[in-house]
Structure 1
């Protein structure tokens, strides 16, 4: 079993090589804007999970998945030549859901901010149900006689 530092270095280098391979090896005009976001290599350096995102709609994502699947062997060969290690890890391409999750969180935060603004506006327009200062105060001479200083 390899140490974790070596696995991280190989994962980072694999990420760079897959990105280069997309530009050099993949010769498909249908390929869109594919971004490699992360690569994770197993501890035994046998498998690499490559996470990617695609700029576009669901049809673009499906086309990108087909292209990556079709060029998996060529990309693995390209990565193997660039890594220079005895065993080249197998590549598994996984669509990264991070951008969609981030968009969903942004939408939720906008809704919360709008609701907070509504509540703040309601607070500014509201008045106390009773007196402005509902707390008891110690009695003074004015309270006893009704006139100041008498």
Structure 2
């Protein structure tokens, strides 16, 4: 996303419009439980990448991607009508990898916690050389 305030405002507005459209106007049965996670707009306001997540398996994600692709024209016309910009940006729907990334990070944290617990258990039962209190 560009650092221009206008592009930022347009991206936020497009996110609101697309989320509302998917909730109320797009009635495609292939459309799963979709969450619009973000929008990036180019500096010239000609292209918008809409990031989304889908709750479900890979089949649901593929069906939702097809539904979004078929509803792209309807959504773009509504974005143009509600934003009032001279040239309506083209929309590109991109699946967001945030849930998968979060799941892999959570798995890595669980593995680290398990290893810490193993190390603590080994340290608790360890017998160290020398006196129990070396400072007496």
| TM-score scaled by length of structure 2 | 0.92
Give 1:12-51 correspondences, 5 Å limit: 12-51=12-51
| TM-score scaled by length of structure 1 | 0.84
Q: CA, structure 1 residues 81+59, in 2 after alignment: closer, same or farther (shift >3 Å)?
A: same
Between structure 1 and structure 2, the one with the greater Rg is 1
Q: Aligned partners of 1:92, 1:105: CA distance in 2, in Å?
A: 27
Partner of 1:129: 129
Indicate if the aligned counterparts of 2:31 and 2:68 stay in contact, CA closer than 8 A: no
Partner of 2:53: 53
What count of residue pairs does the alignment treat as equivalent?
A: 135
Q: Provide structure 1 residue ranges, at least 5 long, that are not aligned to the other structure.
A: 138-150
Classify the secondary structure of the residue corresponding to 2:19.
Answer: helix
What is the CA RMSD across the aligned residues, in angstroms?
1.7
Indicate if the aligned counterparts of 1:47 and 1:91 stay in contact, CA closer than 8 A: yes
Q: Provide structure 2 residue ranges, at least 5 long, that are not aligned to the other structure.
A: none
CA deviation after TM superposition for structure 1 residue 3, in Å = 6.5
Indicate if the aligned counterparts of 1:25 and 1:75 stay in contact, CA closer than 8 A: no
The answer as to 2:10 corresponding to 1:10 is yes
Q: Aligned partners of 1:65, 1:130: CA distance in 2, in Å?
A: 67
Partner of 1:79: 79
Cα-to-partner distance string for 1:92-149 (whole Å, 9 max, x where unaligned): 00000001100110011001001101100100100113444668x9xxxxxxxxxxxx
Partner of 1:144: none
The worse-fitting range, judged by mean Cα deviation, of 52-61 and 17-26 is 17-26
Q: Aligned partners of 1:31, 1:104: CA distance in 2, in Å?
A: 26
Indicate if the aligned counterparts of 1:11 and 1:39 stay in contact, CA closer than 8 A: yes
Partner of 1:143: none
CA deviation after TM superposition for structure 1 residue 52, in Å = 0.2
The answer as to 2:114 corresponding to 1:114 is yes
